[in-house]
Amino acid sequence: MNALLGLLVLLPLITVAFIVILGSRSEKSVSFIALVSNIFTAIIVLSVVVAWMINDFENISLHFGYLYESKHYQFPITLFFDLSSFFFLVMSTFISMVVVKFSRHYLHREEGFSRFFAAIFLFLGGVNLLSIAGTLDLFFAAWEMIGVSSFLLIGFYRDRVQPVRNALHAFAVYRMTDLGLFLGAFLSHIIFKGGIFFANLTPEFVLASVHPSDSHLIGLLSVLFVLSAMGKSAQFPFSFWLPKAMEGPTPSSAIFYGGLAVHAGVFLLIRTFAIWRQSAMAIALVTTVGLVTAILATMCGRTQSSVKGQIAYASIAQVGLMFIGLGFGLKIWVLVHMTANVFLRSYQLLVSPSAVVQVLQFQSRPNMVVNVSEWSMERLLPNKLRTNLYVFSLNEAYLEAGLRRFLWRPLATFANIIFGAKKNSKYNIRDHWRWGFGAALFSLLVMGCLFLLPFSPIWSVISMALALFCGCYALSERHSYWLVWNSIGISSFFSGMTIFLLDSHLFWDGFIFLSGVLPCWIIGSIIIAKIPNYWSLGRKRNFMGLAQIRPNHAFYFLICTLGIIGFPLFPTFLGEDLLLHAHTSGTLLPILPIGVLFVLNGIVAVRTYAMLCLGPNRFLA
Amino acid sequence: MFNLDKCLDSVSLVLPDQFPLKDFIHQNTLQAFQWQTFHEALQSASSVYGANCYMETTFYGEAFRAGRISPKGISKALREHFANEAEMLIFQQKMFDLIDGSLDVKPLGQAVCGLRQMWLAEIGLDIDKRAQPIIFKILGNYLDQGISIWRLPHIHLDFWECIGKIIEESSLPIKPLTDKECRKLFKLEPEDVVLHCLQKIVGDEALFQTYITEMLLTHPGWAGMVRVIEKHPDFLHSRRTLRLKHLLALELCFELGWLYRKKSLTFRPVSEYAGVVEKFSNSKTMIKKHSEILFVKKLWHSSYEWSYYDEAIDSIQNSLRRKSFKPQSTKVQVLFCLDDRSCSIRRHLESFDPQIETFGTPGFFGIDFLYQSLHSQRPAKHCPLPVKPKHMVREVSRENAHLKKRIRMPSQMNGHKANTLFRGWLITQVFGAFAAIRLAFAVFQPFLRFAVLNKKISTHRTDLEILRVNEDLNDQGFYAGYSYFEMAERVRSVLKSIGMTEEFAPLVILLAHGSSSVNNPHFAAYDCGACSGKHGSPNSRSFAWMANQSEVREILRDSGISIPDETRFVPAMHNTTTDEVSYFDVEHLSVEQRAIFKHFREKMHQALDHNAKERCKKFELVSTKISPSAARKHVKLRSAAIFEPRPEMNHANNALCIVGKRSLTKGVFLDRRAFLQSYDAATDLEGDTLAAILGAVVPVCGGINLEYFFSRVDSNVYGAGSKLPHNINGLVGVTNGVQGDLRTGLPSQMTEMHEPVRLMIVVEHSPEVALKAARKSPEIFQWIENEWIRYAAIDPNTEECFIWQGSEFKKRSETGGEGLV
């Protein structure tokens, strides 16, 4: 039993490895691997479910030991299977089987066949882990896996700008809202000593384990969870990314946006139900967000003239209803609704190319003299109001513009002000050397000082400032990927150092973190440096399309990017956790900037990857 | 003085001329350039659109290594372009020097390297990125034929008025039209707005047209669609009134708005930036710079074409020499569509029973009408695109209670209802699990679909109202049916053109064709091209009905075609996807005819099995050892599987069109690459019939061929790219994702197998008559003269072949072909 549940997570990842290693050779081997992996997953899920049912539906909780263990922190590997897992797992297995079988034919002869399957299985690994993760830390790992694989699938057609740009949008939203879970995981370690285990997460437990003086923290924690759920489930005000993400092949749209990925947020809320139900504010937030989303998404969806866009909004609106349901505490009802919605929307998306035939047949019914779209509810409204509402929906409720204006623009402006970046200033080669050498020298200097001087919090503050400084620089730099990349590297490096410097006994934790960051940073730099004229690349923010001339380099660069942004399979991820949690004893203060950097560096690093490796090839022109 | 309408007329020529999805019709993608010779046109088009002229050099290199390009072909190509040996040698060397493709370049189109690039370069404003999404949305919603639930307010007005009204009523901003200056414009007429904006943005009148062209070429799909609907508003079920200038006015307003936002009211127009015209119009010079590699590619391409033509003509000439014998008595004559997909099934059918004789003719069987099916609200055109039908035929039910037996579609899950909030919620809750079941069956058991479909499709019989009883035009302005004289005229012209004027067999089958596929937005492109992308069965039914009327036969007898009373015409339809044939109106057959018919059905069944097997060879995932009946089952599966992007290979690889007697091609393996039109030169010494045939064959087959050609050569510019991310927009077209331009042309899944070779029309007649017939219509002759199709004549008497080269027929033996120089 133990092994089986564990396999459920490992199997997709092993499949990814196989596909990456063997895949480029032939379509047949990839589809064979996919098929085998799929069948095994189905068998495992089936046997787990049967065992669970025989055992009178008793929750299964399994402990596999510790990924890392020290006296002040453990990273336990615990899996947990209950009713919600059952729903999510069965649903995802079913959808994945359908989609894999579908895609084996549908993507036949498509360029990037194996890339597609690798991304699909990475996603499935994430989803499986999500449904059976026993701790919040593992849950977060799954969450990140889903985020990155979504990015890869939306930008599947990487030689065109539009999919890549929309993939970046989606990733940026994901990453911003991931801040909720990032800080939430940290906070949960402070509130519940040893972190959150879903197995014993009951309202009573929450009440019992929270110190009365910490009750405001529960409110904060809940809001953080809700924030994350909102982003992943494309709820207000983040709804705009979902319809735009319909850029990949139809089956990937089905599995993600219609199907599993948008419901991950709902699942998070179900998992942490016991916690956020304690906070009236969170309940109000969930209900309101759900209500607003349901209304806005319905309006926007009604004015969509494209099939997939309409389905996307319909799905968002239904998820909004689920949020409302959760607000009222109807957990089982939401689970049922969720499953039904996943099936229906996946089905709709997969048959969406049939729309012409369907509508033609519908219009051709002799008793249907009126065109279907001639009548709609809105006709009842007065003219002016109707037009205004229409314009409002046409602009997709101004969500994207609003978010850009109130969230992203201030950040970018802030960074620009610091560095005085002028938009069209000519690139100066001296900048390059100044930054490259300056940064290297400076970090050496800091390192040197560390060993010469006794540890003191002041170093930590300096390090934090440096990390922020470099992070902002990376955000505002527009002329050279080389500089951006190195700034991100330095920034990540120092954000790790910040905590390391606070507690000198965290040497080992810091080492783990750096062992993830440093190699990726260096290898990434080497890859960039191997491109001719690398220092001046990136003018005008063009997508360069390295992947088309050097697919291997692009792949390695992706790995490096994942390493830097703390993708779960890298030591960076563990190191991040370690550093944060080891610090729980200390002050909360440095965590917020680190969180901001986590978001910022993540977005900028992935943006750099996209700009450099994706898009149409501009190296030859 | 700048004239907007004139300007738009000439600009719109370069826009793709593609109809809404339900009426997909194959046309030459580069129609606008047809006045130039083929190779010149490729280059001009390439600098306009930024497209490839030919395949990559490596493609030809591989073809050479694989033996697909023969030394003979290369020599023919060289001889076509050069007179003396020395030059030939030099260029032959060059061809092989450049074979690695290292010098391949892709030109930039006007849309990405022209005046409008200035805004990005000079003031850092990417207007297209900002303005296009919302423009496309408004336009998409305006044109929408039934996807969006809530329609654009004031949609009954014309586009410009509708937008003006919305802007006027709306207090919410549509970026960047918040500016007062911009809002004022919407009260004016579109022409004035265009001129006003151009004056502000461009300044110099001489640059107006360039600017407009560049602007429209950033989204050729939508612009082309607008133009098509402007010209043919009846292609939309829900009528819309819009003009290209409306779209242009709207776009220019957006552009002006963005410039105001960015640079306030005092920005400088394009013409005031020094040197801008020189700086940003370099696409033409780029072509010049690379003229050498283009020339070499042209040589490679010609070699590629000649290698095929040569082999094909060889095999035809060989077959001619074999002198196939005609069987004593033919029991069944079958009239096929000239479609290249009929090519293989005809061969199989004849091989199973030599007493079956086959003919080929355009699949609309000369019946030019609008067909009002029982299942549709509006009549549809069932004849080639250039033909303007005057008649309309209705389908009527023989039973009265047909309404109850309708196919009940769509189910709750597919309609709009599932996408609304509350009904959607109920449907989700109630049918969600059902969707899972449906999904599982659709993906794992696609065959079940047939069981369900068969049950659903009503089995009642219908009749066509072909005979005209009332001389008045009906309310749509058409004659309701045909008079006997008109019928006889249509029957006669078809029978005469294929040379079937005597020796009628007891049974004449009229085999129309159509296709059936699921989950396929381009479904109309798979149907009969001669019927404007519809099933051909109404045409074959009408023809058979006409030819079976004793009154019609009476009239025909006067004009020398006597159809014996024992002969009966039977309409049928071949489903080219599933390889099934359905027969109509067979209940009137006599006992003898019935026996023959039964025999024929069996033979047809066998032939279809083998046809399916032959088709399966082209599908990579199917074993080559598949048995014929299993192959048939497999192709049937393809038509029902929602996950199959290639239900059939359609016209892929078409390259040849043979106008002549069946004996030219009987038994020759043409690999489903040839359009076969029956024609008897002996009955047409003056070439009048031939001219009529060419009039139908050249635009239909040439259009198909060139559309495949260009979609293959540049799948992203001329073609629609991969169909996997396609998203149906407003039921009029497909886009990638929810934003972006409409994709025109054919998706790469349809064309990836295609060998880009221009169509060669081989006529079985003396070169003099062939030339005379072609010259009769200047439009047709333009195709030949400018080499958009290749033209050849095989003299039936001397068996010699002549090929049109330069501006004359050359004897084939004189066109070279000894091998490499």
- B15 vs B31: CA distance, rounded Å: 10
- Nearest CA to CA, how far is A25 from chain B (Å)? 16
What's the mean pLDDT in A116-122? 93
- A547 vs A16: CA distance, rounded Å: 19
Establish how many alpha carbons lie within 13 A of residue A140's alpha carbon, considering only the half-sphere containing its beta carbon.
27
State pLDDT tens for residues B550-576.
Answer: 999 999 999 889 999 999 999 999 999
The per-residue pLDDT for B502 is 85
A31 part of contact set with chain B, CB < 8 Å: no
Chain mean pLDDT for chain B: 87
Verify whether the Cβ–Cβ distance B238 to A373 is below 8 Å: yes
| ipTM over cut 0.85 | yes
* Nearest Cβ partner for A310 among B172, B419, B737: B419
The per-residue pLDDT for A207 is 83
Q: Using a CB-CB distance cutoff of 8 angstroms, which residues of chain B are in contact with residue A421?
A: none
pTM: 0.93
Verify whether the Cβ–Cβ distance B169 to A309 is below 8 Å: no
State pLDDT tens for residues A555-594.
Answer: 999 999 999 998 988 888 888 887 777 665 556 666 788 8
* Nearest Cβ partner for A298 among B169, B407, B420: B420
Tokens in use for B672?
């489903």
Q: How many CB atoms within 10 Å of residue A409?
A: 11
Model confidence at B230, in pLDDT bands (50, 70, 90)? very high
B435 part of contact set with chain A, CB < 8 Å: yes
Model confidence at A504, in pLDDT bands (50, 70, 90)? low
State pLDDT tens for residues A180-191.
Answer: 998 888 888 888
> If you measure CA to CA, which chain A residue comes closest to B740?
A162
Short-list A142, A102, A118, CA closest to A8: A142
Is residue A621's pLDDT more than 60?
no
Most trustworthy range by pLDDT among A497-511, B171-185, B308-322, B483-497: B483-497
* Helices and strands in chain B, H and E counts: 28, 19
What's the mean pLDDT in B414-432? 78
Is residue A440's pLDDT more than 80?
no
Q: Using a CB-CB distance cutoff of 8 angstroms, which residues of chain B are in contact with residue A247?
A: 725, 736-737
A380 part of contact set with chain B, CB < 8 Å: no
What's the mean pLDDT in B694-707? 92
Verify whether the Cβ–Cβ distance A354 to B520 is below 8 Å: yes
Helix, strand, or coil here: B507? Answer: strand
Is residue A167's pLDDT more than 80?
yes
A391 part of contact set with chain B, CB < 8 Å: yes
Is residue A412's pLDDT more than 60?
yes
Is residue B456's pLDDT more than 60?
no
Say if residue B645 is preceded by a cis peptide, omega within 30 of 0. Answer: no
B400 part of contact set with chain A, CB < 8 Å: no
* Interface-testing mutation among B147, B434, B453, with chain A (most A C-beta atoms within 10 A): B147
How far is CA B710 from each of CA B45, B296, B714, rounded to the nearest angstrom?
11, 19, 6
Model confidence at B706, in pLDDT bands (50, 70, 90)? very high
What's the mean pLDDT in B424-449? 84
- Nearest CA to CA, how far is A62 from chain B (Å)? 31
Buried b (16+ CB within 10 A) or exposed e, A463-490: bbebbbbbbbbbbbbbbbbbbbbbbbbb
The per-residue pLDDT for B402 is 47
Model confidence at B287, in pLDDT bands (50, 70, 90)? low
* Interface-testing mutation among B22, B149, B240, B283, with chain A (most A C-beta atoms within 10 A): B149
State pLDDT tens for residues A445-492.
Answer: 666 666 655 556 677 777 788 888 888 888 877 777 888 898 899 888
Percent helix, strand, coil in chain B, to 5, is 50, 10, 40
The per-residue pLDDT for B452 is 57
At A243, which helix (H) or strand (E)?
helix A241-244
Q: Using a CB-CB distance cutoff of 8 angstroms, which residues of chain A are in contact with residue B380?
A: none
The per-residue pLDDT for B407 is 41
What's the mean pLDDT in B328-357? 91
State pLDDT tens for residues B215-229.
Answer: 999 999 999 999 999
Q: Using a CB-CB distance cutoff of 8 angstroms, which residues of chain B are in contact with residue A541?
A: none
Higher confidence at residue B66 or residue A438?
B66
The per-residue pLDDT for A378 is 73
Is residue A402's pLDDT more than 80?
yes
B418 part of contact set with chain A, CB < 8 Å: yes
Q: Would you tell me which residues 703-762 of chain B have a C-beta closer than 8 angstroms to some C-beta of chain A? A: 722-731, 735-740, 749, 752
Model confidence at A369, in pLDDT bands (50, 70, 90)? very low
State pLDDT tens for residues B496-550.
Answer: 999 888 889 999 999 999 988 888 889 888 998 888 888 899 999 999 999 999 9
Verify whether the Cβ–Cβ distance B120 to A540 is below 8 Å: yes
Verify whether the Cβ–Cβ distance B736 to A160 is below 8 Å: yes
A572 part of contact set with chain B, CB < 8 Å: no
**Distance between start and end Cα atoms, chain A:** 57
State pLDDT tens for residues A131-166.
Answer: 999 999 899 999 999 999 999 999 999 988 999 999
The per-residue pLDDT for A609 is 94
What's the mean pLDDT in A364-385? 61
Model confidence at A549, in pLDDT bands (50, 70, 90)? confident
The per-residue pLDDT for B280 is 61
How far is CA B59 from each of CA B54, B55, B99, B550, B721, rounded to the nearest angstrom?
10, 6, 9, 58, 19
Establish how many alpha carbons lie within 13 A of residue B812's alpha carbon, considering only the half-sphere containing its beta carbon.
22
Q: Using a CB-CB distance cutoff of 8 angstroms, which residues of chain B are in contact with residue A340?
A: 428-429, 431-433, 435
- B335 vs B348: CA distance, rounded Å: 15
The per-residue pLDDT for B405 is 42
The per-residue pLDDT for B620 is 85
- The answer for residues whose C-beta is within 8 angstroms of residue B49's C-beta and 6 or more apart is B14, B109, B110, B111, B217, B220, B717, B718
Most trustworthy range by pLDDT among B145-149, B280-284, B344-348: B344-348
The per-residue pLDDT for A371 is 44
Q: Which of A21-30, A35-44, B205-214 has the least mean pLDDT?
A: A21-30
Q: Using a CB-CB distance cutoff of 8 angstroms, which residues of chain A are in contact with residue B169?
A: 383-384, 387-388
Say if residue B107 is preceded by a cis peptide, omega within 30 of 0. Answer: no
**Distance between start and end Cα atoms, chain B:** 57
% of chain B beyond a pLDDT of 70: 93
Q: Using a CB-CB distance cutoff of 8 angstroms, which residues of chain A are in contact with residue B732?
A: none
A385 part of contact set with chain B, CB < 8 Å: no
* Nearest Cβ partner for B172 among A101, A355, A392: A392
Model confidence at A234, in pLDDT bands (50, 70, 90)? very high
Q: Using a CB-CB distance cutoff of 8 angstroms, which residues of chain B are in contact with residue A392?
A: 172
Chain mean pLDDT for chain A: 84
The per-residue pLDDT for B446 is 83
Q: What is the DSSP string of A141-163?
A: HHHHHHHHHHHHHHT-STTSHHH
Verify whether the Cβ–Cβ distance A391 to B174 is below 8 Å: yes
- The answer for residues whose C-beta is within 8 angstroms of residue B169's C-beta and 6 or more apart is A383, A384, A387, A388, B153
